[in-house]
């Protein structure tokens, strides 16, 4: 067992994520071993990480935690490992770090990446290259179960990894349906790998792991599910997905927290409308009414939002033809944003969002991505097309 692996296990036990202070040290170039030594010795350079680790710094359970994970077929995956989902996490938390999202609010302190993932299942390589979060109420109706199953039956065979929280209701239907059609599905848990929550899903989780899926968690073995951990877990579902769709969420549903995280992390929030008489869908309707989620009613709607233009034509009403250049590769929403910019001069994000008919957070996310690809230029608060005055 390597010293570095033990150091990461120590950090994962002593610093319950997410930790902005720990991430700052990692980004500054300190490695896991140096951080572990510093925390144990109460080094003066720890800064905010000192008080954060005061209660647990003497815990020395690295070997026990790694052994406990191995006992249930698990392992610790860290930023040092090739299977670490760097692209997805960097994209999501990099967006959060820009400060452009108006939806971070009280989530700001939690809007940082994990510093370790405990994993049961095959290597995570490629698992999140094309992933969608599917969440909703635990007390789902027959309508909610049917809609969830229909959506997943359209997504999983198209090589979309289905992410959810492994809970009763919508989560369970999403996982079960993905398995039934031979798709890949991942459970993001709010407890240690040696805990099963809910206990009735022990067999379901085993089948997921045996079917090229995985169970992942930030929490070391022995960690029990608690309310605050579910809320922290929700940010990972959103971060590891290109977008999150919520099916049946009441006014105060926890599933809406995951949708809020999707907004905060620059991912695409989506909601399925329910019967107008159903309180179980009141949260979905509120997000749609406030233009904080895209309305979707089918897998094709979801794929049209998330996949490149031309992959799916949900409406089958028209076809766009472009020369073989960057514009041809834009997704539908990317094209709406690009077309909303004036041919000459620039415009601010509010004006572009209005012209494109898209929510401001989604518009900002797309503007930043188009800038990264060299198609747009930002000048102060205004954006303009590259190569145009």
- pLDDT, tens only, 31-40: 999 999 999 9
Residue 322 has pLDDT above 50, yes or no: no
Residue 54 has pLDDT above 70, yes or no: yes
Residue 310 has pLDDT above 60, yes or no: no
Residue-by-residue DSSP string for 112-179:
S--S-EEEESS--TTTTTTEEEEEE-SS--HHHHHHHHHHHHHHGGGTPEEEE---TTHHHHHHHHHH
Residue 319 has pLDDT above 60, yes or no: no
- Token code pair at residue 61: 């359970």
Q: What is the distance between the alpha carbons of residues 258 and 135, in angstroms, rounded to a whole number?
A: 8
Q: What is the distance between the alpha carbons of residues 239 and 262, in angstroms, rounded to a whole number?
A: 7
Between the CA atoms of 105, 109, 110 and 114, what dihedral angle is there, to the nearest 10 degrees?
150
Q: What is the distance between the alpha carbons of residues 120 and 141, in angstroms, rounded to a whole number?
A: 31
Q: What is the distance between the alpha carbons of residues 298 and 273, in angstroms, rounded to a whole number?
A: 11
Q: What is the distance between the alpha carbons of residues 237 and 267, in angstroms, rounded to a whole number?
A: 11
Q: What is the distance between the alpha carbons of residues 291 and 257, in angstroms, rounded to a whole number?
A: 16
Residue 316 has pLDDT above 70, yes or no: no
Quick one: pLDDT at residue 308?
A: 65
Q: What is the distance between the alpha carbons of residues 91 and 268, in angstroms, rounded to a whole number?
A: 13
Residue 333 has pLDDT above 90, yes or no: no
- In this predicted structure, which of 82-86, 130-134, 166-170, 334-338 has the lowest mean pLDDT? 334-338
Quick one: pLDDT at residue 231?
A: 84
Residue 186 has pLDDT above 60, yes or no: yes
SS3 27: helix
Could you tell me which residue, 53 or 253, shows the higher pLDDT? 53
pLDDT-derived band at 359, boundaries 50, 70, 90: confident
Residues paired with residue 164 on neighbouring β-strands, in sequence order: 187
- In this predicted structure, which of 14-28, 79-93, 102-116, 242-256 has the lowest mean pLDDT? 102-116
CB 94 within 8 A of CB 112: no
Quick one: pLDDT at residue 311?
A: 52
pLDDT-derived band at 10, boundaries 50, 70, 90: very high
Length of the chain: 389
Task: Name the strands in the sheet holding 376-379, side by side, starting at the edge strand that comes first in the sequence.
Answer: 347-348, 382-385, 376-379
Task: Give me the chain's average pLDDT, please.
Answer: 89
pLDDT in tens, 142-158: 999 999 999 999 999 99
Angle between helices 332-340 and 349-356 (to 10 degrees): 120
pLDDT-derived band at 102, boundaries 50, 70, 90: low
Quick one: pLDDT at residue 208?
A: 98
> Structural domains in the chain?
1-60 (no CATH), 118-306 (3.40.50.450), 326-385 (1.10.10.10)
Quick one: pLDDT at residue 173?
A: 98
Quick one: pLDDT at residue 369?
A: 87
Quick one: pLDDT at residue 317?
A: 31
Residue 220 has pLDDT above 80, yes or no: yes
Please give the sequence-ordered ranges of beta strands (E in DSSP) within the chain, or none if there are none. 74-77, 117-120, 131-136, 161-164, 185-188, 214-217, 243-247, 268-272, 294-295, 347-348, 376-379, 382-385
Name the DSSP letter for residue 225. P
Quick one: pLDDT at residue 103?
A: 62
Q: What is the distance between the alpha carbons of residues 379 and 383, in angstroms, rounded to a whole number?
A: 6
Residue 384 has pLDDT above 70, yes or no: yes
Handedness of CA 332, 336, 341, 344 (dihedral sign): positive
């Amino acid at each position: 067992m390597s010293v570095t692996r033990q150091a990461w296990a120590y950090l994962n036990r002593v610093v319950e994520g997410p930790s902005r202070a720990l991430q700052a040290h990692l980004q500054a170039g300190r490695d896991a071993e140096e951080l572990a030594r510093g925390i144990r010795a109460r080094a003066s350079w720890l800064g905010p990480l000192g008080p954060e680790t005061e209660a647990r710094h003497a815990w020395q359970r690295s070997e026990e935690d790694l052994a406990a994970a191995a006992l249930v077929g698990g392992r610790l995956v860290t930023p040092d490992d090739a299977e670490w989902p760097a692209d997805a996490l960097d994209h999501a938390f990099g967006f959060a770090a820009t400060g452009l999202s108006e939806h971070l609010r009280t989530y700001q302190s939690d809007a940082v990446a994990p510093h370790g993932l405990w994993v049961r299942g095959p290597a995570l390589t490629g698992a999140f290259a094309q992933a969608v979060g599917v969440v909703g109420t635990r007390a789902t109706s027959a309508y909610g179960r049917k809609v969830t199953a229909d959506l997943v039956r359209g997504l999983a065979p198209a090589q979309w990894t289905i992410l959810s929280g492994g809970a009763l209701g919508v989560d369970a239907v999403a996982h079960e349906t993905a398995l039934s059609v031979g798709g890949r599905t991942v459970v993001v848990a709010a407890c240690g790998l040696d805990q099963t929550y809910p206990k009735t899903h022990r067999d379901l989780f085993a089948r997921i792991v045996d079917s090229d899926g995985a169970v992942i968690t930030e929490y070391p073995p022995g960690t029990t599910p608690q309310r605050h951990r579910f809320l922290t877990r929700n940010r990972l579902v959103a971060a590891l997905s290109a977008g999150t769709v919520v099916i049946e969420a009441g006014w105060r549903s926890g599933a809406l927290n995951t949708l809020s995280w999707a907004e905060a992390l620059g991912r695409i929030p989506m909601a399925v409308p329910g019967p107008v008489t159903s309180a179980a869908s009141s949260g979905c309707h509120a997000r749609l009414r406030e233009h904080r989620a895209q309305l979707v009613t089918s897998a094709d709607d979801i794929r049209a939002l998330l996949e490149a233009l031309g992959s799916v034509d949900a409406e089958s009403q028209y076809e766009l033809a472009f020369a073989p250049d960057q514009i041809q590769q834009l997704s539908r929403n990317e094209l709406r944003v690009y077309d909303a910019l004036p041919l000459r001069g620039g415009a601010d994000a509010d004006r572009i969002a209005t012209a494109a008919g898209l929510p401001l957070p989604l518009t900002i996310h797309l503007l930043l991505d188009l800038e990264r690809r060299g198609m747009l230029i930002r000048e102060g608060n205004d954006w303009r097309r590259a190569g145009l005055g």
